[in-house]
Each structure stands twice: as structure tokens, then as C-alpha cells.
Chain A
Amino acid sequence: MDRRGARSRGVNQALVAAAEEAPREADLAFERLYRSSRDDVYAYVASLVRDAGAAEEVTAAAFERAYRKRSRFDPRRGEARAWLFGIARNAALDELRRRGRRAELAAEPADLDGARPDESAAEAERRLAVAAALARLEPGERELIALKFFAGLGNREIADVVGVSESNAGTRLHRAMAKLREACDGLL
């Protein structure tokens, strides 16, 4: 996570610099943001929409939207990754609204089925238990965990994405983790 945080700061600084340089620099900064965030955005969006096909569409739409709006990004208003995940969040929630579905934050169901070839039965059981416990959390709590562990955002970035204060985001994340830990008690 520290590695991701450092990467986030680097990208943000690059975008800040790009805002003052030539348009080409802005394109390069966006490209760096894209490279560093592509899988993270997909993981977060897939957790929200719980459908691989929809997650791909929403991820592509989110990046396209961010690309079109890249000149409007204001580094004084927050981190670049937080800005990108805000766009992805809106796109995912719009997709959920269109479908009339409720958000259910969890890992992809396909990943939860069965054990991986190289893992033991105990590891597979632990993974299933954590996934089940995650599914029982409130949607908002599951989103925070997805942002933290799937997307690798820091508390400040999470706060920017969900629109709360940093301390509030930290408190809510702590509570969510405590509930998850309690639900998995005995299996970890």
C-alpha cells in the first residue's frame, strides 16, 4: 500500500507540473495516470457492479470520461487518483442505477468458486470465509474496503472519492475492518 501511495503522489506531482506545461505534457501525465491506475480502477468498479462485462464497460467509460475532462482537472482540489476514482465511482453508480440493481461489494464471484491449484484447503477456506464476511458488510463499508485494498487508495484519497472528511473516512474504514475481522474470527 505504501508503494501505491508513493506511486499516487508521483502521478499527482506529474499532473500538477503538466498543468503548467505544454498540452503534450498533460497527455503524458494522463498516460502515466492511466498506466498506474488501470487495474485498480477495474478492481474497484468490478467490486461495485459485480459483473465482469459491465465492469469492463464502466472502466472504459470512466477512463474515456477522465480523458475528455483531463484539462479540467484542478490539482488544488485533490489528488489525481482521487479525481479519477470519483469519475469511476459515478460511472459505476450510474450503471447500477440503469440496471436498477443494488450495489453489492464483493470480489468477483468467479474468483470465489473453488480452490486455486496452488493453494491448500485451509487457504481456500479462509478466502471463501473472508469473501462471505465481506458480502455481509454494509455496501458503504464494502466500498471503503474495496477502495483501500482493491484500489490501493490512501485515507485522504478515499475521503475525496466518497465525499467525506479524511478523519471520517479513516474512522469508517476502521469500523468496517473491525466488523470484517470479527466476522472472520477463528479463520484467520
Chain B
Amino acid sequence: MDSSRDDRLTATLEELRPEPRPEFAAELDRRAAAGFPRRSRLAALRERLRALAPHRVLVPVGAAATLLLVVAVALTAGGGSSEDSSESGVGTLNFLNEADGAGESAAEPAEARSDAPAASIQDSAGRLDGAASRAPKRSVERNARLDVGVPADRVPDAAAQALAIVDANNGIVMRSSLEQGSERPQVALFDLRIPSGQLSDALAEFSELGEVLSRKDRSADITAPTVGTAERLQDSRARIEGLLGQLAAASTEAERETVEAELRRERRHAARLRARLADLKRRANLSQVSLTIAATDGSSAGGGWSVGDAIDDAGRVLSIAAAVAIVALAVLVPLALIALLVLLARRAWLRRARARALA
């Protein structure tokens, strides 16, 4: 009995099954045979937008505009960072007024370092007010590093010319070396001291030896430690004079021994101050120059474009491309994450909306 009722129910349900119009079925068959040709995307978009309620368009458009604004502001705020490069280009002399650690002698006392160039003027005005009032000549220490490229077979000649330049400028060669390759010299290294007044001329002449590969110039104002040391030396000398007077006036052996001991200490102190002052003056008068003359296989200086240059250029191009890619990633990754979140949120919302439509 139940079985026949179920059969009748099933049969009735199948009778209730909606059937497509023959015209529609034929039209759909035709479109299927043609591979469902696309309608114009613009027309389809216009149709969809027309079907949407205004608030459903405005909300996403507003959100997208806000997002674009945020990204634009972030990009604008993030840009424009600058970096001071200590490498100067060919022919530019870039004196950096900085408290230089690299150029300082290792023997520089901590006391002198505290008189850092950046603060030296203020300190001079206060602590060394006598010296400041006399407006001492500024004492500036200068260092330079110069790398020059020449063809490999010209390295010895260029090294000889460099020595001649040093000599012509009354400079001093502290150290020099000529590194030999398997067949011929590849690099010449010089540690030089050039009178500060002739540093610019000497560097210009060194630059003419070949192609300047890199050049670094540094300067540090050492007026404050120089003046301070000179004053302390003056004080020390005055104390020595005083002690000598006391020594002459000493009446007992014990008194004489005490004054002599103090005199020895003060003379040692004065000697240290003299040495330090001499060092400071030497540093101001003689600039330290590190000169490297390296072989460039004649390519750079000769003007030709070799395989080595091509590899260098390729490396630079790749570096720039990598930098651009990193910047692009920095922009795209957050955008992609935002897009992913939007997509996931949209899917979840769509799922709920469809469930609501059926409920």
C-alpha cells in the first residue's frame, strides 16, 4: 500500500517537473555549439551595475578609494629617504665635517676624543674662552682615499709617477707595496702623508694617473684638542717654572727631594703634552692619503668595452633590477594580502548571502 503511494507521489513529482520552452532549448543548444560566445565585457558590466542597488555600488567604490588613498599616503610618506655617501664622484672633493673615528690615530687619548669636532666650537667658547677670544686658526685634519685604475702593464709606471707626485708636493711615503701577479704587477698600495696645503693639488695629480675608481675624503676639526693641549702644556711649563723656583728656595734636603719628585712628574706630564701637541700639529699639517693603483686590464682607462666591463655592467643591471623588484614586492605584497583578505571576506559574505536567499 505504502509502496504504491510512494510510487504515485514520485510520479506526480516528476509530472510537476518544469520543462524548458523548445525555443529556449534550441537557442541554448545553438550557443553551446558555438562555445558560449562571450558578450561584450563592458555591456555585461553595465548590465550588472544597473541591476545593483546604489548603496551596493557606493560602499565598495568608497572602500576602494579609501584603500587607494591609504596606499598613496603610505608610499608618499615612506619615500624620500636620503643617505649620505662618503664616496665622492670623480673630481668632487667632499669634506665631511664629522667626528671621524677611522682617521683618528689609535693613540688618540679618550680625553681628546671627548673634544669632538662637532662640539669643539661650543667648548672653545666656554671652557677655552681665552683661546676662543683669540680666535685661533682652525686646525683641520684631512684624510683621503683614492683608488685609481690603470692598464695592467702601466701599474709600475703609474706607481713611479705617484712617487714623483709625492716628492713634488713635499710629501712622505709611509708605506708602499707593489703586489705582483703571476706575470706582471696588479696593484700598488701607498700610505702617504701630504702637506695639507697641497693636498688638493696632489689628489688632482694622482687622479690624472688613470681612471678614478673611487675617492673618499674626510676632514675633522681638531682645533679644540689642539688648543686645549697647548694650554695645558703652557700651564705645565708654568708649574715647572714655579717648581724650579721652589727648588732654588728649598732649604732642607727633604724639601728639595719632594720638590724634585714633583718636578720630575710635571716634566713627564709636559713631555706627554708636547708629544700629543706635536702629533696634533702633524695631523693638521700632513694629510693622510691612501692611494691604490690597480690594474683594470686596460679596459677602463683605454675606453674599450670588454667582457669584464660587460660582466660589471650586467651585475649593476641585476642589482638595480633586484632593488626595483624588492621595492615592487614591498608595495605588492601588502596589496596582495589586502586583496586576499577582501577575497576571503567576500566569499564568506557571499556564502551567507546565498544561504539567506534560500532561507
Contacts and interface: CB of A to CB of B under 8 A. Distances in A.
Nearest to B35: A67
Nearest to B358: A103
Interface string B9-29: 110111111111100110011
A102 B355 CA distance: 11
Contacts, number: 106
Report the contact-size class of chain B (Cβ under 8 Å from the partner): 20 to 34
A93 B358 contact: yes
A74 interface: no
B348 interface: no
Contact of B19 (A39, A126, A127): A39
A93 B36 contact: no
Contact of B358 (A111, A139, A180): A139
A149 B358 contact: no
A88 interface: no
A83 interface: no
A106 B21 CA distance: 18
Q: From DSSP, what is the main secondary structure of chain B's interface residues?
A: helix
B93 to A, nearest CB: 65
A43 B17 contact: yes
Interface in A69-119: 90, 93-94, 96-98, 101-103, 106-108, 111-112
Given A43-B19, A181-B5, A60 B357 contact: no
B20 A42 contact: yes
Contacts of A60: 28, 31
A150 B18 CA distance: 8
A34 B51 CA distance: 28
B175 interface: no
Nearest to A57: B24
A171 B41 CA distance: 43
Given A38-B28, A42-B20, A93-B354, A188 B9 contact: yes
A176 B165 CA distance: 105
Interface in B1-60: 5-6, 8-10, 12-21, 24-25, 28-29, 31-32, 35-36, 51-52
A130 B327 CA distance: 67
B353 interface: yes
Given A39-B25, A127-B15, A143-B358, A63 B32 contact: yes
A55 B17 CA distance: 13
Nearest to B32: A34
Nearest to A45: B18
B13 A145 contact: yes
A184 interface: yes
A126 B12 contact: yes
B354 A94 contact: yes
Interface string A9-27: 0000000000000000001
Given A39-B25, A64-B36, A97-B353, A131 B16 contact: yes
**Which 6 pairs of residues, A with B, have the shortest CB-CB distance?**
A107-B16, A46-B18, A93-B354, A149-B13, A96-B357, A42-B20
Given A59-B24, A64-B31, A97-B356, 18 more contacts: A38-B25, A42-B19, A43-B17, A67-B32, A68-B36, A94-B357, A96-B357, A96-B358, A97-B354, A98-B51, A103-B357, A108-B18, A112-B16, A126-B8, A127-B16, A140-B359, A149-B17, A150-B16
Interface of B: 5-6, 8-10, 12-21, 24-25, 28-29, 31-32, 35-36, 51-52, 353-354, 356-359
Interface of A: 27, 31, 34, 38-39, 42-43, 46-48, 52, 55-56, 59-60, 63-64, 67-68, 90, 93-94, 96-98, 101-103, 106-108, 111-112, 126-127, 130-131, 134, 139-140, 143, 145, 149-150, 177, 180-181, 184, 188
